[in-house]
Amino acid sequence: MNIAQIVPEMDIGGVEQGTFDLARGLLARGHKSIIISNGGGLVALLETSGVKHYPLPVHRKSPIVMARMVKEVRKILRKENIDILHAKSRVPAWIGYYATRNCSFCHFVTGFHGFYSPHPLSKIMAKGERVITVSRALAKYAAGKFKVPEKKLRVVYNGVEIKEYSQVTPPPTSPLEGVHPPDKGEGGNRIGILARATPLKGYRYFIEAFAKVRERVPDAKGFIIGPLPKDKISYKKELEGLIKKLYLRNIEFIPPEQKEEIFPTLDILVSSSIVPEAFGRTMVEAQLAGILVIATNIGASLEIIEDRKTGLLVPPKDSPALSEAIIWSFTHQEEGKKMRERAKRFAQEKFSIEQMVEETIAVYQEVL
């Protein structure tokens, strides 16, 4: 098969990483694999892997640009003799839809990667000959809000790379300005949250829960890991104010480039989202790394974690419940170890890149 994926950009992100992994997987299995995007940090790795990339401004919402992109994408589809165009975002999907319209040789498939609001711009995601969602929760949403027929829906979980982390010594912390530094010689009990800085990720509830945890586990350390968009600087200051108000120690913000240094040293990863997650890549990454996951019981978290079996689930916006779950984990080491082991086995079986690639190929073969 000859497959093209079309996405806004190829920078760091869940959709981009999945696109990258699928493109390489297709190529490794003998299929032609190309990507159309505006470019980004993953392009060099793509080309090194042998995946052809066509740089086009398919992220632009300008009607004039989109009309021009329809013609350019159609040229690429003909030149590369593409069988299936797989669109994973709204603006590229509109371009792809019109580029494949009345096209006898190329089919159109869409991928739901988020809980899109059902306004006219988003409705394109329901127009694929197959609509691939990354969780059952998202498939249910697509069927209900977008009226996608069940016969068109297919669930293919994201694949997550299995990384073997060597035993590492936790690096020293650098607390926020004005927050007391950690005492020398303090041990583990390291809790992290890994997400972009936005109120939807429930950072406030994580911080409030951490304050309660410190009362019972004084040597606990907290890490807020993730990118800080320019429009969220004031939100970070708000969180820093909360940290100081609660007289917290041993909690810090970690930029995304330091993730690989801090992430494997965590004992617990918290996902405190107050809205449903479409998938939850970071949760799976934690499970594969042997880190216990505590998450809110909404969205795809329910498909990744079985409460008290492969992790812990708590209600959203419930700092006391979150703090109790963290404290329980620190005081029930043996039960926690068993949960981590079960979670790792589950993640290896359910969320491998190989499985994602094979299941996506099966969807393509259905269409053809």
Residues in Cβ contact with 110 at an 8 Å cutoff, skipping those fewer than 6 apart: 86, 87, 88, 93, 124, 125, 126, 127, 128, 130, 131, 132
Torsion of CA 276, 162, 322, 258, to 10 degrees: -100
pLDDT digits (tens, 9 = 90+) for 100-137: 998 888 999 999 988 988 888 899 999 999 999 999 99
Mean local confidence (pLDDT), 184-190 = 59
Q: Which helix (H) or strand (E) holds 251?
A: strand 251-254
Mean local confidence (pLDDT), 290-296 = 96
Q: To the nearest whole percent, how much of the chain has pLDDT over 90? A: 70
What per-residue confidence (pLDDT) applies to 165?
A: 60
Token reading at 323: 């703090």
**How sure is the predictor about 195, in pLDDT bands with cuts at 50, 70 and 90?**
confident
pTM: 0.85
Token reading at 229: 């968009």
Q: How far apart are CA 78 and CA 80, in angstroms?
A: 6
Domains and CATH numbers, the chain: 2-159+352-367 (3.40.50.2000), 190-350 (3.40.50.2000)
Q: What is the mean pLDDT of the chain?
A: 89
For residue 366, give the amino acid letter: E
pLDDT digits (tens, 9 = 90+) for 320-347: 999 999 999 999 999 999 999 999 999 9
What per-residue confidence (pLDDT) applies to 176?
A: 42
pLDDT digits (tens, 9 = 90+) for 201-226: 999 999 999 999 999 999 999 999 98
- Whether the per-residue pLDDT at 23 is higher than 60: the answer is yes
* Count of helices and strands (H, E) across the chain: 13, 13
- Whether the per-residue pLDDT at 178 is higher than 70: the answer is no
Phi, psi values for residue 201, rounded to 5°: -85, 0
Q: How far apart are CA 224 and CA 195, in angstroms?
A: 8
What per-residue confidence (pLDDT) applies to 24?
A: 93
What per-residue confidence (pLDDT) applies to 37?
A: 95
Q: Outline where the chain has alpha helix (H).
A: 14-28, 43-49, 63-79, 90-100, 136-145, 203-216, 233-245, 259-262, 281-288, 301-304, 319-331, 333-350, 353-367
pLDDT digits (tens, 9 = 90+) for 36-67: 999 988 888 888 888 999 999 999 999 999 99
Mean local confidence (pLDDT), 230-252 = 87
Q: How far apart are CA 350 and CA 135, in angstroms?
A: 12
Mean local confidence (pLDDT), 85-109 = 94
